[in-house]
Amino acid sequence: MRTLRYSLVVFVVAVAAVGVAYALESAGTAAAAGASGTTALAPGQTAAATVTMTDDNKFKPDKVKVNVGDTVEWKNTAKVAHTVIDDPKVAQKKGNVELPKGAEAFNSGPVAPGTSWYYTFTTPGTYKYICGPHEAVGMKGEVVVKEKREKDTVKE
């Protein structure tokens, strides 16, 4: 019985160590990538779309469309941390992530339960992203960013 308890403790400690290592790696990658995401919006600023990160390891909705200059909120309603990553260097399967030419990769780092992460898109195109810890179970999403149309000018 004592051996079983010892084995269980070793297993739990090993799983926790892997989780901490992943969180540190994700945070380092986010800083190295120069991610311009944030954990708060400026006063008066609103998100054009909100994506919920769930306990069933899904992004809901899994696809949103916004305009250049719009901000998307990823809100973690789960009991575990999730991430928002479109960096091909971090993805297990390169086809799960995509970013338009000229766009910088983003990596939220761990988004704790009950918190949000925001990203403002400045380059049009399709961004496919994953949750790093849950990529293998299919936690992925997509943001399509359209060029903002300028209002027609009226000549008097």
Domain ranges within the chain, ordered by starting residue: 2-146
Number of residues in the chain: 156
> Would you state the pLDDT for residue 37?
80
Q: Where are the alpha helices (DSSP H) in the chain?
A: 2-33
Got the DSSP string for 33-46?
A: HT---BSSPPTT--
**What pLDDT score was predicted for residue 3?**
60
10-residue mean pLDDT series, the chain (156 residues) = 52 39 40 57 90 98 97 98 95 95 95 97 97 98 88 46
CA distance 87 to 74: 17
List the structure tokens of 26. Answer: 């994700």
Which residues are within 8 A (CB) of 33 and not within 5 positions of it... i.e. 6 or more apart? 87, 104, 105, 106, 107
| Start-to-end CA span in the chain (Å) | 88
Q: Which CATH superfamily is domain 2-146 in?
A: Cupredoxins -  blue copper proteins (2.60.40.420)
Sheet of 125-130: strands edge to edge? 63-67, 140-146, 125-130
Per-residue pLDDT, 36: 59
| pLDDT at res. 14 | 40
The reply to whether omega before 113 is within 30° of 0 (cis) is no
The phi and psi torsions of 28 (rounded to 5 degrees) equal: -65, -40
- 3-state SS assignment for residue 117: strand
